[in-house]
Amino acid sequence: MKRLFKYIVIIYALSSLIVAPLVLSAGQAFAETKKGTDASYIGAGVAAGVTSGGQGINDDATFGGNITGRMKLGNTPFSARGNVLWSDQTSAIIPELSVDVPIANRTNAYLTGGYSFVEKDGSPTPIGNRDSVVLGVGVESEVANNFLVYTNAKVGLGAYQNSDASAVSINGGIGYRFK
């Protein structure tokens, strides 16, 4: 088993030496055309909790929906964001601030930080069953005139009652640009 692991590490290291120059040269050419998006939008889609708190009472992974909004903050790389993630029992309201990074024409990657306010503590949402600090990462892209698609992953730190477990939610949807 150790020998197999050693060979995998060697193959990975050698392939990295071959692939890295290709990726870096492609990235340099790509950097000349990237613009990102400055769209302020509102969108709706699905939200899937992929973790549980491990206690078995109102802390299972939960499927639901999301409403997401983004307001670009001037000429800065920051945006104010708001999310509502809901299940069939309650919802979580998550105000966030993000750092937006242009990665392609009309496309941003972003990192977020915020706080989740669960309306009914103890009831499951896709981001846990109690209030918590939330960190996230996502991508948004304008795909047509005034329309965007977005996807993100959020982690609610210690987001379950009676558990130190963190909640992970995967979200995605379609947005309409209003500015």
Same domain for 151 and 116, yes or no, is yes
Residue with the bigger pLDDT between 153 and 23: it is 153
Structural domain total, the chain: 2
The predicted structure's pLDDT at residue 7: 43
Same domain for 62 and 28, yes or no, is no
* Residue with the two structure tokens 């009831």: 123
Same domain for 27 and 81, yes or no, is no
- For residue 82, give the CATH number of its domain: 2.40.160.20
Name the least confident of 50-59, 85-94, 153-162.
50-59
The predicted structure's pLDDT at residue 11: 47
CA neighbours closer than 13 Å in the CB half-sphere of residue 10: 6
Same domain for 138 and 171, yes or no, is yes
Same domain for 123 and 68, yes or no, is yes
Structural domain boundaries, residue 18:
1-32
Band of the pLDDT at 112, cuts 50, 70, 90?
very high
Mean pLDDT score of the chain: 85
Which pLDDT tens digit goes with each residue over 23-81?
444 445 444 455 899 999 999 999 999 987 766 666 677 899 999 999 999 999 999 99
Same domain for 28 and 46, yes or no, is no
Same domain for 20 and 63, yes or no, is no
Same domain for 19 and 45, yes or no, is no
Average pLDDT of span 76-105: 96
The torsion angles phi and psi of 48, rounded to 5 degrees, stand at: -125, 115
Nearest to 155 by CA among 171, 169, 138: 169
Q: Which amino acid is at 122?
A: G
Same domain for 24 and 95, yes or no, is no
Report DSSP letters for 89-112, one per residue: S-EEEEEEEEEEEEEEBTEEEEEE
The predicted structure's pLDDT at residue 165: 87
Same domain for 11 and 63, yes or no, is no
The predicted structure's pLDDT at residue 4: 46
Same domain for 96 and 8, yes or no, is no
The predicted structure's pLDDT at residue 34: 57
| Cα 112 to Cα 134: distance, rounded to the nearest angstrom | 8
- Residue 90 in this model has a pLDDT that exceeds 60: yes
Same domain for 91 and 9, yes or no, is no
